[in-house]
Structure 1
Amino acid sequence: MANYFRDYADLCFEAFGDRVKHWITFSDPRAHAQAWHSYNSTWRGKQRGLVGISLNCDWGEPMDISSPKDIEAAERYLQFCLGWFANPIYAGDYPQVMKDRIGKKSAEQGLDMSRLPVFSLQEKSYIKGTSDFLGLGHFTTRYITERNYPSRQGPSYHNDRDLVELVDPNWPDLGSTWPVSVPWGFRRLLHFAQTQYGNPPIYVTENGASQKLHCTQLCDEWRIQYLKGYINEMLKEPLLSHMQMVTEIVVPTVCTLCILISAVLLMLLLQSQS
Structure 2
Amino acid sequence: MISYFRDYADLCFEAFGDRVKHWVTFSDPRAHAQAWHSYNSTWRGKQQGLVGISLNCDWGEPMDISSPKDIEAAERYLQFCLGWFANPIYAGDYPQVMKDRIGKKSAEQGLDMSRLPVFSLQEKSYIKGTSDFLGLGHYTTRYITERNYPSRQGPSYQNDRDLVELVDPNWPDLGSKWLYSVPWGFRRLLHFAQTQYGNPPIYVTENGASQKLHCTQLCDEWRIQYLKGYINEMLKEPLLSHMQMVTEIMVPTVCTLCILISAVLLLLLLRGQS
Same fold (TM over 0.5): yes
CA distance in 2, matches of 1:178, 1:103: 30
CA distance in 1, matches of 2:215, 2:263: 32
Specify whether residues 257 and 187 from structure 1 end up closer, same or farther in structure 2 by C-alpha distance, changes over 3 A only: farther
* Residues 259-268 or 203-212, more deviating: 259-268
Specify whether residues 269 and 221 from structure 1 end up closer, same or farther in structure 2 by C-alpha distance, changes over 3 A only: farther
Say whether the 8 Å CA contact 1:139–1:207 is kept in structure 2. Answer: yes
What SS is found at the alignment partner of 1:241?
helix
Specify whether residues 263 and 143 from structure 1 end up closer, same or farther in structure 2 by C-alpha distance, changes over 3 A only: farther
CA deviations on 1:229-261 (whole Å, 9 max, x unpaired) are 000001111467599999999999999999999
Deviation at 1:108, TM superposition (A): 0.3
Q: TM-score normalized by structure 2?
A: 0.86
What SS is found at the alignment partner of 2:211?
coil
Cα root mean square deviation, aligned: 11.5
- Percent identity among equivalent residues? 95
Specify whether residues 173 and 42 from structure 1 end up closer, same or farther in structure 2 by C-alpha distance, changes over 3 A only: same
Q: TM-score normalized by structure 1?
A: 0.86
State the match for 1:106 in structure 2.
106
Say whether the 8 Å CA contact 2:175–2:210 is kept in structure 1. Answer: no
Deviation at 1:174, TM superposition (A): 2.0
Say whether the 8 Å CA contact 1:92–1:124 is kept in structure 2. Answer: yes
Specify whether residues 268 and 148 from structure 1 end up closer, same or farther in structure 2 by C-alpha distance, changes over 3 A only: farther
Which of the pair is proportionally richer in helix? 2
CA deviations on 1:177-205 (whole Å, 9 max, x unpaired) are 23100000000000000000000000000
Q: Which runs of 5+ in 1 are unaligned?
A: none
CA deviations on 1:54-107 (whole Å, 9 max, x unpaired) are 000000000000000000000000000000000000000000000000000000
CA distance in 1, matches of 2:259, 2:225: 25
CA distance in 1, matches of 2:115, 2:185: 31
Deviation at 1:123, TM superposition (A): 0.1
State the match for 2:116 in structure 1.
116
Say whether the 8 Å CA contact 2:175–2:209 is kept in structure 1. Answer: no
State the match for 1:23 in structure 2.
23
What SS is found at the alignment partner of 1:239?
helix
Say whether the 8 Å CA contact 1:202–1:243 is kept in structure 2. Answer: no
Say whether the 8 Å CA contact 1:102–1:115 is kept in structure 2. Answer: yes
Specify whether residues 3 and 170 from structure 1 end up closer, same or farther in structure 2 by C-alpha distance, changes over 3 A only: same
| Number of residue-to-residue matches in the alignment | 274
State the match for 2:92 in structure 1.
92
